[in-house]
Amino acid sequence: MGTGHFFWVIFYFASLCSASLANNAKINFREKEKKVLDQILGAGKYDARIRPSGLNGTDGPAIVRINLFVRSIMTISDIKMEYSVQLTFREQWTDERLKFDDIQGRLKYLTLTEANRVWMPDLFFSNEKEGHFHNIIMPNVYIRIFPNGSVLYSIRISLTLACPMNLKLYPLDRQICSLRMASYGWTTNDLVFLWKEGDPVQVVKNLHLPRFTLEKFLTDYCNSKTNTGEYSCLKVDLLFKREFSYYLIQIYIPCCMLVIVSWVSFWLDQGAVPARVSLGVTTLLTMATQTSGINASLPPVSYTKAIDVWTGVCLTFVFGALLEFALVNYASRSDMHKENMKKKRRDLEQASIDAASDLLDTDSNATFAMKPLVRHPGDPLALEKLRQCEVHMQAPKRPNCCKTWLSKFPTRQCSRSKRIDVISRITFPLVFALFNLVYWSTYLFRDEEDE
């Protein structure tokens, strides 16, 4: 009997243990979540209009910590001075009214999809132009309530934000675009925004922009004071560097080619008027079209940009080549007129000489002067012969390189047009090369402070 009684006691305790384990296994945690939500958010128990208490339950301002995840940056518009970004925005704060029992750590957090059930910070983006939420397939938003009363709010949004740009160094510039977040109605006495410790801003690794490179980003505070009080503000500064290779291929190299093509007219014959005029006018119109196309993609600003300097100087060189032909044509016609006048003068002199010889032939009493056989020491002809002998007796001088090079240039009065062309062949490339040296040394090797 003793042994049987002991057996039944063991069986009874085993049954109790198995029943207890079965009850634990059958706990419906979703039902527990419902009960907890009804307990902390039930009617008359929680008022979403009242802000949470301050740190450690004090009457100080509610502390809200912010962090962002930048998913993509779609476009950066120069003409509108704005950029579009898609990000996951998160806020976290503590509301002691939302504390609950976590059932010995089994209930990690509660999830809500309705933001109006709890108190929310009145944050807004101060430099926002447009924005929208994402509702495909379901609204991309959630609220997590942790057992200690901590609340995490996360949402995916797309924003178009204003980005004032300084285009003085365009297209060799860097731009800083900001993302500003501030409280709309709660002053710093009631609400303070802080960046989350650690890594408050994260950017997707494979971020790719067509014309910019994201060099770095900085977080900072930007509290603002108005007539109604001081408001908490956070900002992220995104530093973008413009990709220069696109503009080198699309703008700088074509402009250089147009300037060089305009110099071809210097090597054409001065009489080829149609060829030189058509070449000059075509390059001028092409350069003007290129300049207008560049300005069409930029806002009308009141200062001079780096690209304006480049296109303006290139346009000046092309226009100067066209004016050079006009000068050459005028000099050629002037030389031709002077040559005709000299020819007429020689014809008149020859005609007068012929008339005088005819008169001498018809004059029978004419006397002829005989050349003396012996020259006197003061005779001009004897002096001239002496000079020639002295010249032949002098030692030959070494050729001067500068004089040899200058002798290649036409120096006669009748070749002024040709001389202008030859000088232009050297002057235009040298001046353009000097301009390139000054331009690139100014804009490429500038100080960061000036930028």
Tens digits of per-residue pLDDT, 261-303?
999 988 887 778 888 888 889 999 999 999 998 888 888 888 9
> What are the tens digits of pLDDT across the range 306-317?
999 999 999 999
**Cα separation of 107 and 109, whole Å?**
6
How far CA 131 is from CA of 14, 159, 203, 217, in Å, comes to 63, 4, 19, 22
Q: How high is the pLDDT of residue 401?
A: 62
pLDDT of residue 430: 96
Q: List phi, psi (to 5°) of 103.
A: 55, 60
pLDDT of residue 20: 46
pTM over 0.75: no
Furthest CA-CA distance within the chain: 194
Structure tokens at 272: 């080829």
Give residue for tokens 């044509």. 329
Place of tokens 């109604």: 228
pLDDT for 60: 86
CA atoms within 13 A on the CB side of 42: 8
CB 240 within 8 A of CB 177: yes
Strand partners, 142: 154
Instruction: Compute φ and ψ for 35, nearest 5 degrees.
Output: -65, -40
Q: What is the DSSP letter of 34?
A: H
CA pair distance 41, 62, nearest whole angstrom: 20
Average predicted confidence (pLDDT) for the chain = 81
Contact predicate 164/180, CB 8 Å: no
Among 93, 112, 85, CA closest to 201: 85
293 three-class SS: helix
CA dist., res. 119 & res. 122, Å (int): 9
Q: How do beta strands 233-242 and 212-221 pair?
A: antiparallel
- H helix or E strand, kind and range, residue 180: strand 174-183
> Which residues partner with 73 through β-bridges?
85
Residues (pLDDT < 70) of the chain are 1-29, 56, 335-340, 344, 347, 351, 354-415, 447-451
- The two structure tokens encoding residue 345: 């003068």
Report the b/e string of 150-164 with b at 16+ CB within 10 A.
bbbbbbbbbbbbbbe
The end-to-end CA distance of the chain, in Å, is 100
Integer Cα distance of 132 and 148 in angstroms: 32
Report the distance separating Cα 325 and Cα 420, nearest Å. Answer: 9
Helix (H) or strand (E) holding 43: none
Q: What is the pLDDT of residue 309?
A: 94
Alpha helices in 115-252, H assignment, sequence order = 244-247
pLDDT at residue 331 in the model: 75
- Is the four-CA dihedral 10, 15, 18, 19 of positive or negative sign? negative
What is the distance between the alpha carbons of residues 31 and 231, in angstroms, rounded to a whole number?
42
